């Protein structure tokens, strides 16, 4: 029998609510499997059935059905033998298809990698599996994570769970849609400039971008290595917290990883009394949609009523963050995509008769338009004569943004503002105008440039579409960020 909606979750409207089956909280699902009151196989089959039933939303590229069921049987056998299967025992989840996962191809939603079978798994997947979680499917994304709408997938466009004519955000659009449609209790995404938080906001779920380096990137297709962050998408802050608890920490396979908090990320204080919260002026400007602003203003008023001190804060150089991002990110994309040359990965143009032609034709035919665009921009800003004018200056401005964030966090505990200037936009509305599409990331790239922790929390609806509020915390304060996010979640639901 389907569970009743949990407190703290905004009820979905329209046709979406007619076929949703709400999962219990992750901790309860795992406890049920450990106690034997539920089986991992039942949970996995339930997830697979939901994926099958909701194919029309095109959130999933492929399932890992055979391996998932085998792992479920193993976990059930452990529970039956009195052994502890782990903190996430039997909990099914979905991974964005740029994570290396056994049991399915890893395509990054690109024709360039179609047919690639991973020889090992990403560290994040290994940690989740060690805790008993089971990956059941791979989610759609913008190819190589290049995009804000999931329209850049080489396979198909994922549909927004609230309105099929609109985008789910990107690049982790498949992951966010899957969670909103209850295909699994949580999903994994990657966030380089917005790609967990934007789809979370557009799909009405929680999307966490941890501090840079808190979760290992080993075994995840690189987009821009100094910006990429691994994060969970879930229905509640508590569910996101337990996933982070399992994944966080140092990894010898990723030299950029950092030490985790000594206290559990699940040990959260949901009180905001005495907190000093800054309203980020640059993220609440005149370009913000009135409906989005209205829902965020309500959340801010609730925080003030609960005893938080609210002040306006400015990080002036944030107005340049999008320009800086679209210099530095393509530069790193250009470097990271150089390995896909038609020689070492599945796609290779068979018509070439020499090596140079093979390189040219394989990359011309294997990459989509957005990947080519970012390669060309990145190569240009790194080229002789332009490096100093663009790349070096962008790095200097990035340092200034970091310093301004640090100064702001000396005044306040958290910063809040909008995730996106608008609600989810129509499919095709911006796909022919790359610059207009890039503006969807306007309020989020600053956090990636600075390496701060940030999150999107659902705070209401505007004209039938979900609105997310962004909360930012200093580097390493992920646990505190989850605490205030849980408080916001409770205030919105009350």
Q: What percent of the chain has pLDDT over 90?
A: 92
- Under a CB-based contact definition with an 8 Å cutoff, are residues 206 and 200 in contact? yes
Q: Which of 54, 65, 96, 138 is catalytic?
A: 96
Rounded to the nearest integer, the mean pLDDT of the chain is 94
Q: Which of 39, 110, 153, 195 is catalytic?
A: 195
Determine phi and psi for 96, rounding to 5 degrees: -55, 145
In 192-308, at which residue ranges do the beta strands (DSSP E only) sit?
Answer: 206-209, 229-234, 276-280
List the structure tokens of 283.
């993220």
| Active-site residue, selected from the candidate residues 110, 153, 171, 447 | 171
The pLDDT tens digits for 222-262 are 999 999 999 999 999 999 999 999 999 999 999 999 999 99
- Residue 77 vs residues 33, 60, 83, 154: alpha-carbon distances, Å: 11, 29, 9, 40
Q: 452: burial class by Cβ within 10 Å (0-12, 13-18, 19+)?
A: buried
164 catalytic per annotation: no
Q: Which is nearest to 415 in space by CA: 466, 459, 474, 460?
A: 474
Q: Are 216 and 482 in contact (CB under 8 A)?
A: no
CATH topology for the 14-247 domain? Amidase signature (AS) enzymes (3.90.1300)
Whether residue 138 lies in the annotated active site: no
Write down the pLDDT at residue 4.
29
- Show me where the domains of the chain are located: 14-247
pLDDT reading at 47 higher than 50: yes
Residues with Cβ within 8 Å of residue 52, at least 6 apart in sequence: none
pLDDT number for residue 16? 42
Beta carbons of 256 and 276 less than 8 angstroms apart: no
- Predicted pLDDT at 267: 93
Q: Is 358 helix (H, G, I), strand (E, B) or coil?
A: helix
Percent of the chain with pLDDT over 70: 96
Averaged pLDDT, 365-377: 96
Overall size of the chain counted in residues: 494
For residues 456-488, b (16+ Cβ closer than 10 Å) or e, as one string? bbbbbbbeebbbbbbbbbbbbbbbbbbbbbbbb
Rounded CA gap, 208 and 230, in Å?
Answer: 9
**Predicted local confidence at residue 151, as pLDDT:** 98
Contact 398, 392 (CB under 8 A): no
Helix (H, G, I), strand (E, B) or coil at 474: coil
What strand order describes the sheet that includes 186-191?
60-63, 134-139, 92-96, 186-191, 229-234, 206-209, 453-462, 465-473, 414-418, 276-280, 309-313
* pLDDT tens, residue by residue, 291-350: 999 999 999 999 999 999 999 999 999 999 999 999 999 999 999 999 999 998 999 999
Residue with tokens 């590229």, as numbered in its chain? 61
Whether residue 11 is predicted with pLDDT greater than 50 in this model: the reply is no
Contact 157, 137 (CB under 8 A): no
What is the mean pLDDT of the segment spanning 422-441?
94
What pLDDT shows up at residue 287? 82
């Amino acid at each position: 029998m389907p569970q009743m909606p949990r407190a703290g979750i905004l009820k979905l409207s329209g046709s979406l609510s007619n076929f949703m089956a709400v999962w219990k909280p992750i901790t309860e699902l795992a406890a049920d499997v450990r106690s034997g009151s539920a089986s991992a196989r039942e949970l996995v089959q339930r997830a697979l059935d939901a994926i099958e039933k909701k194919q029309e939303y095109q959130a999933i590229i492929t399932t890992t059905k055979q391996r998932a069921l085998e792992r479920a049987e193993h976990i059930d056998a452990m529970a039956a033998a009195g052994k502890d299967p782990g903190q996430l025992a039997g909990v099914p989840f979905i991974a964005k298809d740029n994570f290396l996962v056994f049991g399915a191809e890893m395509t990054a939603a690109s024709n360039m990698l179609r047919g690639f079978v991973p020889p090992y798994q990403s560290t994040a997947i290994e940690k989740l599996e060690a805790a008993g979680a089971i990956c059941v499917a791979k989610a759609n994304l913008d190819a190589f994570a290049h995009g804000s709408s999931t329209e850049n997938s080489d396979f198909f466009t994922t549909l927004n769970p609230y309105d099929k004519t609109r985008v789910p955000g990107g690049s982790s659009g498949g992951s966010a849609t899957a969670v909103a449609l209850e295909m699994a209790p949580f999903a994994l995404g990657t966030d380089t400039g917005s790609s967990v938080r934007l789809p979370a906001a557009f799909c009405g779920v929680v999307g966490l971008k941890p501090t840079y380096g808190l979760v290992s990137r080993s075994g995840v297709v690189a987009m821009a290595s100094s910006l990429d962050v691994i994060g969970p998408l879930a229905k509640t802050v508590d569910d996101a917290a337990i996933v982070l608890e399992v994944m966080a920490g140092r990894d010898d396979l990723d030299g950029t990883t950092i030490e985790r908090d000594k206290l559990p990320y699940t040990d959260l204080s949901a009180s905001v009394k005495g907190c000093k919260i800054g309203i980020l002026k640059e993220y609440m400007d005149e370009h913000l949609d009135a409906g989005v602003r209205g829902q965020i203003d309500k959340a801010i008023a609730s925080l003030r009523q609960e005893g938080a001190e609210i002040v306006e804060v400015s990080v002036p150089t944030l107005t340049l963050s999008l320009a800086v991002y679209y210099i530095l990110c393509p530069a790193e994309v250009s470097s990271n995509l150089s390995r896909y040359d038609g020689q070492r990965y599945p796609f290779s143009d068979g018509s070439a008769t020499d090596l140079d032609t093979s390189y040219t034709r394989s990359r011309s035919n294997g990459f989509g338009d957005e990947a080519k665009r970012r390669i060309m921009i990145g190569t240009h800003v790194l080229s002789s004569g332009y490096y100093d004018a663009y790349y070096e200056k962008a790095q200097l401005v990035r340092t200034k943004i970091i310093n301004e964030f640090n100064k702001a966090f000396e005044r306040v505990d958290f910063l809040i503002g909008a995730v996106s200037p608008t609600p989810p936009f129509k499919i095709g509305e911006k796909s022919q105008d790359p610059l207009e599409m890039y503006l969807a990331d306007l309020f989020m790239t600053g956090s990636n440039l600075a390496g701060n922790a940030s999150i999107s929390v659902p705070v209401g609806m505007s004209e039938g579409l979900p609105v997310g509020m962004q909360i930012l915390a200093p580097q390493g304060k992920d646990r505190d960020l989850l605490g205030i996010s849980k408080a916001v979640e409770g205030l919105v639901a009350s």
